[in-house]
Chain A
Amino acid sequence: MHTFAYARPTSLAEAVALLEAHGPDARVLAGGTDLIVRLRDGSATPAVVIDVKRIAELRPGIRETDGWVAIGATTVMTDVAADPLVRRHFPALAEAAAVVGSVQIRNRATIAGNICNASPAADTAPPLLVHGAVVVAEGPGGTRRLSVDELFVRSGVTTLARGELVTAIELPIPAQRIASAHVRRTRRRGHDLASVTLTCGVDAAGVTRIAYGSVGPRAALVTDETGVLADPAATDEAKAAILEAVFAGASPSPRSMRAGPEYRLAMLRVLGRRALAAAIERLAAGE
């Protein structure tokens, strides 16, 4: 493995100072399920690896305060998937966290790491987009809150500035419940990266939010306010026309080894219909 200096700050200020001093020569280590692979294969060669798991402000845990659910940056997927607050208010996020990698990966991989890697295939990105999640970032200039939508640029690139790190992810508990469902397509069930990952959320006002990933450089969020998608009585034809517009932004890479672009685009439509049907059913059932 590539050699590096290991730093284990215990305070947020210390971590920010290290990140600011080393800039691109530093990499943040949370769960390590992506970073350690890259340190080994040489695709990441940082001079300093900053382990953020002993910083009090980033500690794992999921808490409800003032109408928001805050997920500590180092909370692992296993705990996100099992959390009663997440399951009640953001069911698609629990479902997505439950299908990341294997048990071993989910016991280690963090939610902040999943989105900070900015992989187009990140499974928690679509549910976080649909549920309007906000990233809390601490940096040399203080605390900044930005939506997950504002965080992603393209694969491996976020809008976090030099010296900034994510301390928590916050989700608003909506006044009007968003019933959501997450679905994905993989080569092998149980343990694989997604060929398509998608979340659909509907609310009683008829607004439908669909977010999808692994079919372009970043996960995308599209909102439909016509009410047609969320309407259980609308025809498949009427819905198909709107779904075509929803998926117009998909542009899968022809170079990915997991699935060809034609397959991904076809599956995107299948998964979109399935997730929409599941979300509508959940809304009706009050789940």
Chain B
Amino acid sequence: MVETYPIEVTVNGRRRALEVAGHHSLLDVIRDDLGLTGAKECCLVGECGACTVLVDGRTVDSCLVLAVEVDGAEVTTVEGLAADGELAPIQRAFLDKGAVQCGFCIPGQLISAHAFLAEHEHPSLAEVQEGMAGNLCRCACYQQITDAILAVPEGER
């Protein structure tokens, strides 16, 4: 018998009341219950960052958070970055720099990059590399990804 728990969570600005199993991760719930499939299931141990989302403004590996833990929190997934049909500046920069090959890691990369730029007005290359160390790219687009992050215009960070 799997126990379920009621939670209320705001996902990409929309308030949701959900019934979640205690052992389901936040990643399970945003993908399977909410149908938001941007965040990816990959390593499941917090190494790769493909499942990165924001919880109350901070990046987390959603595979290492239980859904029931985010009761009352605000969650932002990659689907929530664009506003009113307009790509976020970091999304435009990834497109401009060709920072995508297979695309699997990109939702996590975008969320991490977005959060990183919100906290670093004038980042150095070393700071970008350190800040993005929790997001792996198997296609090794690191050069283009760091270029994209550094290319976001200052006023749009």
Contacts and interface: CB of A to CB of B under 8 A. Distances in A.
Contact of B66 (A32, A33, A103): A32
B53 to A, nearest CB: 9
A105 B61 contact: yes
A191 interface: yes
Contact of A105 (B22, B24, B25, B46): B46
B3 interface: yes
Question: Which of A36, A37, A40, A101 has most chain B Cβ within 10 Å?
Answer: A36
Q: How large is the interface on B (under 10, 10 to 19, 20 to 34, 35 or more residues)?
A: 20 to 34
Interface residues of A, number: 28
Given A32-B69, A101-B46, A108-B60, A6 B133 contact: no
Nearest to A106: B134
Contacts, number: 88
A40 B133 contact: no
A105 B44 contact: no
Interface string A3-28: 11110100000000000000000000
Interface string B37-75: 000000011110100100000111101111011000000
Nearest to B61: A104
A191 B65 contact: no
B131 interface: yes
A1 interface: yes
Contact of A102 (B5, B22, B49): B49
Contacts of A29: 66, 69
B156 interface: no
Contacts of B23: 1-4, 39
A132 to B, nearest CB: 30
A189 B133 contact: yes
B129 A190 contact: yes
A107 interface: yes
A103 B64 contact: no
Given A37-B46, A51-B69, A103-B133, A4 B22 contact: yes
Contacts of A6: 3, 5, 22, 66, 68
Interface string A210-221: 000000000000
A49 interface: yes
A49 B59 contact: no
Interface of B: 2-3, 5, 21-25, 44-47, 49, 52, 58-61, 63-66, 68-69, 112, 115-116, 129-131, 133-135
Interface of A: 1-6, 8, 29, 32-33, 36-37, 39-40, 49, 51, 53, 78, 101-105, 107-108, 189-191
